[in-house]
Amino acid sequence: MSRGKKFAALTLLSFIVLVIVGAKFSGHQGDATGTRTGSLSDYLNASGSPDAKDVPISQVGINQLASEAGHLRVSINFTWLLMTGFLVLFMQVGFAFLVTGLTRAKNAGHMMMMNLTSFAVALLAYFAVGFALQFGGIAPVANLGGIAPLNGLTPHGNWGLIGTHGFFLQSAHGYDVGVMALFLFQVVFMETAGYIIIGAIAERVSFAAFLLAEVVMGALIYPIFGMWVWGGGFLAHLGQSYNWGHGAVDFAGSGVVHATGGWAALAMAVVLGPRLGKFNRDGTPNAFPGHNLGYVVIGTLVLVFGWMGFNPGSTFGATDLRISVVAVNTLLAGCCGTVTALAWTNAKWGKPDISMTCNGMLAGLVAITAPCAFVAPWAACVIGIVAGLVVCYGVWFFDHVAHVDDPCGAVSVHGLCGAWGVLSVGIFADGTYGDGWNGVSGPVKGLIYGDGGQLLAQVAEVVVGFAWAFGLFYVIFKLAKNFMAIRVSEAAEIEGLDVPEFGAHCYPDFVLVSHEIRGDHDNGDSYALSGDGHGSSTQVP
Amino acid sequence: MNHLITAIIKPHKLDDVKDAVRAAGVLGLTVSEIRGFGRQGGKTETYRGTEYTVDFLPKVRIDILVEDHEADKIVDVIASSARTGKIGDGKIWITPVLRTVRIRTGELDSDAL
């Protein structure tokens, strides 16, 4: 057996052993059936009434009624959380269409396979380790009946770094309906950060390196940063420790999800280097047109639909009627981003660019993800318009100035617009929502409503997020480069990755015309690509 | 003796050409989707902010076998039905054919059309 096989077998074996050990020794003292989750106290706590102990014993009948109501309240929130989680899960379909359409036909199978396996591999990593690191210390969550088992915060107080309960969804009584509901909703968010990377590393990354990226993302990079903002960590507590507004406020994850994915994508794109022939010797880029703009548009629209779960679901409950504001703000920003990119490309190049218009829509959605619950509709429009401009200049910047090859614009859409979204909370939050957010009383207010401290906390999230996701991904893949092939061979890249990596063409019934590349990306006249569309694969029946 | 008429035309003119040559008495033709360039040498477009040249533009190639005395008339029919007056209308040429055989019956030359 080769070293690689031994390593894989050992990993699998220890995974199974840990699951069994967890099942044997964790005990099932969480609420695994759901009958004890949601009671009178939930009704009283969540509706702002006095504590249960203040209610006279003579009111037993009313207590039973209220207990039913409390259970119902939590049930409605569970339903909302799970349904919106399923919508977010569907975004995986949109992303698969989007990135496959934006790349060449000869790599389509590879693109689809990455989208499929990113889901499974990252989910298992998150199940084993990531979820506990991120949310192991988040309890209580009132909307979901408390989630009592998840109360392992390390270190305690304002400087939390990791959670410690819920490894394998079993440790510390993690086998609990509330924990499972939270897991489902959070794992699909992690998946989003995981598959964002694909857009920037497409058409040259080796499958093995990609799987490593997904494990690292699902087990460490995403959960730990997510903990700092969402799991009771130090960024969330900047309001209490430094008086910076409410601490880092990131409603549905412009920073936690999108910027993390975008910065990790940037790090990997830099370490991998550009695709063969992408840049000429003088640094000017060549276009590699995507093979199916229909896929790109379908994918974008599927993503918009999924975003209706991504943002409104992040209230963790349908009993919070702010969900309608969140949903409408999300659509407004997405459409403003679309129109901005459409107008900008039309003004700049004479015709609206289809794929850039799609990127504009996603840019608006990414940017509004953090502020969607805290801003007025007019501000959502402004945030979307700025995001549309950021993505257009971002794609131009990485192509023409930074010379980082990002086939699908992942870094511009998710990294830059994610950062913009986080900052925009600190500017536009209008003080109508978020009373008590991160343990700070009063609603969340941005700079123009008089709270400059909030903007400081947002800047802190952006800076820490970039250093963490970009820094660690860069280091990990610089090291990985020494003992594994993180990039496919030149021959495989020219032929297309489908057959060298998976032994099957995505489109076997067509002749894929691979264009010869004279010279290569390091030396020689790599601009001299023969064939149409400079290296695009065209199908000839 | 038969002649082979080969025409390279704009793809969207295919139906017009087909109807016109049918009306002129042609019994069959062969169509292929092809790509190529002429004096214009392709054209430039912008994709995500980067210019690229489409060197080979899509065209349709039509092959028609006709009796030699029909050839000039059919060429005129094709030319008038395929013409748009703009760059890239295409070309037509005629080649003499040494032998034509109908596979099913073994008939030869003009009987094989």
Complete DSSP assignment for B59-74: EEEEEEEEEGGGHHHH
A537 min Cα distance to partner chain B (Å): 12
Helix (H, G, I), strand (E, B) or coil at A350: coil
- The overall average pLDDT reported for chain B is 91
> Which residues of A are less than 8 Å from B52 in CB distance?
286-287, 289, 533-534
Q: Cα Rg for chain B, rounded, in angstroms?
A: 17
CA A326/CA A376 separation, integer angstroms: 10
Interface mutation vs chain B, best among A362, A403, A534, A536, most B CBs within 10 Å: A534
Residues 35-54, chain B: which have Cβ within 8 Å of A? Answer: 35, 42, 46-54
Closest alpha carbon to A540 in A514, A502, A503, A505: A514
Cβ of A348 within 8 Å of Cβ of B35? The answer is no
- The residue whose two tokens read 């536009």 is A428
Confirm if A465 and A75 have CB atoms less than 8 A apart. Answer: no
How many CB contacts within 8 angstroms connect chain A with chain B? Answer: 47
Cβ of A396 within 8 Å of Cβ of B49? The answer is yes
Closest alpha carbon to B62 in B104, B23, B98, B20: B20
| The model's pTM | 0.85
> Which residues of A are less than 8 Å from B56 in CB distance?
531-532
Closest alpha carbon to A354 in A440, A423, A284, A292: A292
Closest alpha carbon to B46 in A507, A301, A362, A347: A347
> Which residues of A are less than 8 Å from B47 in CB distance?
287, 289, 353, 355
Locate the chain A residue with the closest alpha carbon to B44: A533
> Which residues of A are less than 8 Å from B54 in CB distance?
532-533
Q: What is the pLDDT of residue A55?
A: 57
Cβ of B49 within 8 Å of Cβ of A409? The answer is no
Count of alpha carbons within 13 angstroms of residue A305, beta-carbon side: 16
Cβ of A287 within 8 Å of Cβ of B33? The answer is no
Interface mutation vs chain A, best among B32, B37, B50, most A CBs within 10 Å: B50
Cβ of B47 within 8 Å of Cβ of A541? The answer is no
Cβ of B52 within 8 Å of Cβ of A286? The answer is yes
Sequential pLDDT tens for chain A (541 residues): 677 788 888 888 888 888 787 766 665 577 777 777 777 677 666 655 555 555 555 566 787 888 888 899 999 999 999 999 999 999 999 999 999 999 999 999 999 999 999 999 999 999 999 999 999 999 888 888 888 889 888 888 889 999 999 999 988 888 899 999 999 999 999 999 999 999 999 999 999 999 999 999 999 999 999 999 999 999 999 999 999 999 999 999 999 999 999 999 999 999 999 999 999 999 899 999 999 999 999 999 999 999 999 999 999 999 899 999 999 999 999 999 999 999 999 999 999 999 999 999 999 999 999 999 999 999 999 999 999 999 999 999 999 999 999 999 999 999 999 999 999 999 999 999 999 999 999 999 999 999 899 999 999 999 999 999 999 999 999 999 999 999 999 999 998 999 999 999 999 887 665 454 443 444 333 333 333 333 333 333 3
CA A78/CA A316 separation, integer angstroms: 8
Interface mutation vs chain A, best among B47, B54, B57, most A CBs within 10 Å: B47
> Which residues of B are less than 8 Å from A355 in CB distance?
47-48
CA A468/CA A12 separation, integer angstroms: 28
Residue ranges of E strands in A211-314: none
Closest alpha carbon to B94 in B32, B9, B3: B3
B53 min Cα distance to partner chain A (Å): 6
Confirm if B2 and B64 have CB atoms less than 8 A apart. Answer: no
Strand partners, A279: A285
Pick left, alpha or beta for residue B43 (phi over 0 → left; psi -120 to 50 → alpha; otherwise beta). beta
The token pair that represents A124 in the structure block: 């298992």
As for the ipTM of the complex, it is 0.72
Cβ of B50 within 8 Å of Cβ of A286? The answer is yes
CB of A199 less than 8 A from some CB of B: no
The distance of Cα A182 from the centroid of its chain, to the nearest Å, equals: 16
CA A120/CA A124 separation, integer angstroms: 6
Residues of chain B below pLDDT 50: none
Q: Which amino acid is at A245?
A: G
Q: Phi/psi of residue B30, each to 5°?
A: -120, 135
Helix (H, G, I), strand (E, B) or coil at B47: strand
Nearest to B52 among A350, A356, A533 (CB): A533
The token pair that represents A29 in the structure block: 């003292």
Q: What is the pLDDT of residue A274?
A: 96
Rounded to whole angstroms, what are the CA distances from A36 to A70, A141, A178, A179, A316? 11, 15, 11, 13, 19
Cβ of A355 within 8 Å of Cβ of B48? The answer is yes
Closest alpha carbon to B89 in B4, B6, B5, B11: B11
Residues 496-535, chain A: which have Cβ within 8 Å of B? Answer: 531-534
Q: Crossing angle of helices A222-230/A177-201, nearest 10°?
A: 120
Locate the chain B residue with the closest alpha carbon to A357: B48
Confirm if A46 and A143 have CB atoms less than 8 A apart. Answer: yes
The token pair that represents A188 in the structure block: 């699909």
